[in-house]
Structures are given as structure tokens and as C-alpha cells.
Amino acid sequence: MAKVLIVDDERSIRTTLRDILEFEKYDVEEARDGMECLVKLKQKKFDLVILDIKMPKMDGLEALERIQILQPETPVIMISGHANIDTAVEAVKKGAFDFISKPPDLNRLLITLRNALDKSSLVTETKMLKRKVAQSKVQEIIGKSEAIALVKETIERVGPTDARVLVLGPNGTGKELVARWLHEKSARNEHPIIEVNCAAIPAELIESELFGHEKGAFTSAHKQRIGKFEQANGGTLFLDEIGDMSLSAQAKVLRALQENRITRVGGDKEISVDVRVIAATNKDLRKEIAAGRFREDLYHRLAVIIINVPSLNDRKVDIPGLTKHFIQQICNEYGIQAKSISEDAIGLLQSVNWTGNIRELRNVVERLIILSEDTITAEAVKRYVLPTSAAPTPRLEDLFQQFQDKEDLYQFIESEFANFKSN
């Protein structure tokens, strides 16, 4: 149900329009002047505003200008019993959808209202489609640090081959983006890249998810299901968080990699598949192998090429470029002009301990865009970011730079430990 705000200083007009629109199944609210209109718009999102021109406190044209700032996507229909052609033209130039004279013709009012809502829906749908198209494109890997340069170089060399790749790195570092670029650089890029988050699928369902199942294979198998291996045929299968896969599923994945054939759950027919597998994990698979939670033979099948994606704390030199990239990207998604950021603000962002890596940085940039004015300042970073961020943990490399030699460092550590025990 569309929400409509009627703004008029005449109670009789508001009541008449409200009765008509509520009969037409619209959700209607009222405001007596431009000031009350703006207050309601700050509190709630409306699909359309019907706005009188001549009102006390703030007239309709001034209110229209403010609405274009508060909710620029909300269509506004101007109404007036005193305005002339020049006023109507001015209203349309300032962003009004249409202008209707008082007393409004009922049929024209309803048709104009429907057209305005249809246009608003199309604008919203267009923005959503543009966002989906932008998200479907492979995002650029931002950064000039040595670690990222090595990742990019490895992708360029390995991408065109069919070699299996194991992508390692903490959560939020962009392992999925590396996998997408490996697929994009390959001869398989005309076929799909199918992603499977092994940690998000229950152990009892992972085999069905990967290999599919036949109708009646288990209680809820009401029809045949095509698994991810078959969906990725000719393309790339990205197994994210493979360190969380059950041992039984690991055995079947190993067999699929060895023989390039799979069998659906509940079936006996072998199906040939041509799939390049890229796996990723934030776990130390060597330790998982020693603990008996990961198969060593599967590890060697997957780790033909290993790409280590660095944490953001290990590539803080890339934060300025990443921040500006996210500002442009997020502002485009919101349909607003890109905001600027001061050098002091960037410097503060480089001092943060980024435990959530790139994902956390993007969330912080989005927060700053929403809560800041035209420029993101150091004060905004202090207010909205630093209180929620843990103090950075000093690394040994940083500590070494503070002392003449290792002996000085060891003495410092011993004194600090002695102080800790005494306290």
C-alpha cells in the first residue's frame, strides 16, 4: 500500500483528499504546512507528496526544495488555487512531478498520482538493476603493496591454466575476489563460476549440495536435484571455507578430482564433469591434517598453486586507495554524489587494528558516508570508528625499530614481564 502525505493549510482540502485516497486504498497522512511536512519526511519514508503552494511558516516551493534534499526520489505533486503558469513552470523546474489547480479534478488527480508512483517504481527498479549489474562484474583488486602485487602477478600467471588453486587468508581479505579473477582470466570464463560455502551447509547436506541427488534418495528428496559440480561443468567450482568440510564429503570430492566423475546421492550412474576447482580457507590446513580433520591427499590435490591473501593490517599502505574506491562505489549504489575524505581521516583509518580486514573497512566507509556531511573528516573517524576499534597490537617488526638491537628488545620484554608478575 503506497504511503501518501497531503500537505495543505486548509483542513477541508486535506479531509477531502484523504477520503478520496483512502477509498482508493492508499495509506494517507496529513501535514498543515511545509515545516510539519519536513518533520514527517525526516521520520518516515513516503511514496508520494501532495503539496500546496500557499501556506504559512513555509510555502510549498521552499518545502519542495527541501524535499529534493531529504527524499529526492519521492515524487511531489503541487496543488494551488492561486498560482499562475509561471508558478507551475517554476515548480516543475524545481523537481515537482506535476502541477494541478484547485479544486483538483478527481480523475486527473488519480491519474497523475498513479503515473507518479509508476515513475517512482521504475526509478527504484532501475537503481536496483544497476546495482545488480555492478555487483555482477568482477571488482578490481585495489592495492599497490608488495603483497597485493604478488597476488595479482600470480593470478595473471595461473589464471589462464587449469591448475587447481588453494587461496589462503583470514576472513574478509578478499579470497572470493581472487577466485573470481582466476576464473575471469581463464579460458572457462564463458561458463559459470559456481560458489559453495562449505561452512554454511550442514554436514548431512553437503554431499547433496555438491553432487546432487536422485528423487527419493532421502525423505525430503521429492525431485531430482543437480549438484554444484554439474552446474559448474565447463566452468569453475569455488569451494569456500573448505577446511570446514566433513571427512566423508572430502573423500567424495577427492574421488571427483581424481576421476572427473561424480555420482548423485541415491544414484548409481557415474556422470562425467569438466570442472576447475578453486578452494579457499582461513584455517591452517597443515594443522587440520595433523589433528585428523582434513585429508592430506585432498590437500595435495587442491594445493597445486597456493595464493596467500594478506590481512589488511599487513597492507595498510593500501588503505587510502581502498577507502577512496569504496567511497565511490557506495555513493554510486546510493545514487548520491561521491563524498571526499581528508588526509587526516585516512591517516586515522591507517592506525586502526583491522581484525575484520577489507570487509570491515568497507562497512566502516559506508558508516562514515551515511553519518558524515560532504567531507569525511578526522573528527568523524574519531567519533564513529575509533571508539569501536581495538587498539592495534604492536608487531615485532614495529618493536624492533624502537630499539638499537635485539638485546635491548629482550631486556624490554623481560622488564615488562617482571612488572606484570609484580602487579
All three cell numbers of 126? 532501475
Residue whose grid cell is 561458463: 191
Query: What pLDDT was estimated at residue 387?
Result: 67
Residue whose grid cell is 581472487: 178
pLDDT tens-place string over residues 351-361: 999 999 999 99
Query: What pLDDT was estimated at residue 276?
Result: 96
Better-scored residue on pLDDT, 138 or 44: 44
DSSP string, 5-68: EEE-S-HHHHHHHHHHHHHTT-EEEEESSHHHHHHHHHHS--SEEEEESS-SSS-HHHHHHHHH
Q: Does an H or E element contain 115, and which? A: helix 106-136
Report the C-alpha gap between 276 and 301 in whole angstroms.
12
What ranges make up the beta strands (E) of 148-292? 165-168, 193-197, 236-240, 261-263, 270-272, 276-281
Better-scored residue on pLDDT, 299 or 123: 299
Given CA atoms 196, 201, 204, 205 in this order, what sign does their dihedral have? negative
Burial 124-153 (b: 16+ CB within 10 A, else e): eeeeeeeeeeeeeeeeebbbebeebeebee
Report the C-alpha gap between 375 and 150 in whole angstroms.
34
- Fold match flag (3-134 vs 146-310): yes
Give yes or no for a contact between 96 and 60, defined as CB atoms under 8 angstroms apart.
no
Q: Outline where 275-405 has alpha helix (H).
A: 285-290, 296-302, 319-334, 343-350, 357-371, 378-384, 396-401
Instruction: Give the angle subtended at the CA of 253 by the CAs of 247 and 254, to the nearest 5°.
Output: 90
pLDDT at residue 25 tops 50? yes
pLDDT at residue 390 tops 50? no
* Global confidence as pTM: 0.62
CATH of range 3-134; options 3.40.50.300, 3.40.50.2300, 3.40.190.10, 3.30.360.10: 3.40.50.2300
CATH class label, 146-310: alpha beta
pLDDT tens-place string over residues 207-238: 889 999 888 877 777 788 899 999 999 999 99
- The domain spans of the chain are 3-134, 146-310, 313-388
| pLDDT grade for 95, boundaries at 50, 70 and 90 | confident
Query: What pLDDT was estimated at residue 392?
Result: 46
All three cell numbers of 300? 595435495
CATH of domain 313-388: 1.10.8.60
Q: Which of 372, 316, 2, 348 has the alpha carbon at shortest distance from 143?
A: 316
For residue 131, the one-letter residue type is R
Report the C-alpha gap between 197 and 237 in whole angstroms.
11
CB-count burial class (<10 Å; 0-12, 13-18, 19+) for 349: buried
pLDDT tens-place string over residues 309-368: 999 999 999 999 999 999 999 998 888 889 999 999 999 999 999 999 999 999 999 999
Report the C-alpha gap between 312 and 389 in whole angstroms.
14
**Average per-residue pLDDT in the chain?**
87
Contact residues for 168 (Cβ-Cβ < 8 A; gap 6+):
175, 280, 281, 282, 306, 307, 308, 309
Query: What pLDDT was estimated at residue 73?
Result: 84
Query: What is the CB-side half-sphere exposure of residue 228 using CA atoms within 13 A?
Result: 22
| pLDDT grade for 391, boundaries at 50, 70 and 90 | very low
Per-residue pLDDT, averaged over 301-306, amounts to 96
For residue 199, the one-letter residue type is A
